[in-house]
Amino acid sequence: MTVKICIVGCGALGSVFAAHLARLDDVEVYAYDVSEEHVRAIVERGLQISGALQFIARFHATSDAQTIPPCEFGIFATKSLHTRTAIEQTAHIFGSSGAVCSVQNGLGNEEIIAERVRHVIRGATTMAAHMIGPGRAGFEFYSDLWIGPFEPTGTPYARVEQLAELLKRAGLRVVPLQDARGAQWTKLIFNAAVNPVDALTQLHHGAATRFAPTDALYEALLREGESVAKALGIPLYGDTRQMIAEGASATAKRNVSMLLDVLARRPTEVDFLNGAIADWGEKLGVPVPLNRAIWQLVKGLEYSWTDPS
Domains along the sequence of the chain with CATH: 3-176 (3.40.50.720), 181-304 (1.10.1040.10)
- Can you give the pLDDT at residue 295? 98
What is the dihedral sign for C-alpha 241, 246, 247, 249?
Answer: positive
- Can you give the pLDDT at residue 249? 83
**268 by DSSP, 3-state: which?**
coil
For the entire predicted model, the pTM comes to 0.94
pLDDT above 80 for 152 = yes
Mean pLDDT of 78-106: 97
* Buried-exposed string 80-92: b where 16+ CB fall within 10 A, e elsewhere: bbbbbebbebbbe
Mean pLDDT of 152-169: 97
Strand partners, 122: 102, 148
Mean pLDDT of 258-276: 97
pLDDT in tens, 220-258: 999 999 999 999 999 999 899 999 998 888 777 889 999
Mean pLDDT of 289-301: 98
Under a CB-based contact definition with an 8 Å cutoff, are residues 180 and 147 in contact? Answer: yes
Q: How far apart are CA 230 and CA 296, in angstroms?
A: 24
For residue 78, the 8-state DSSP code is S
pLDDT band at 100 (very low <50, low <70, confident <90, very high): very high
- CA triple 35-265-82, angle to 5 deg: 45
pLDDT in tens, 23-77: 999 999 999 999 999 999 999 999 999 998 899 999 999 999 999 999 999 999 9
Decide which of 123 and 140 is more confident: 123
pLDDT band at 308 (very low <50, low <70, confident <90, very high): confident
- Can you give the pLDDT at residue 2? 96
Q: How far apart are CA 288 and CA 282, in angstroms?
A: 7
- Can you give the pLDDT at residue 309? 76
First to last CA, the chain: 60
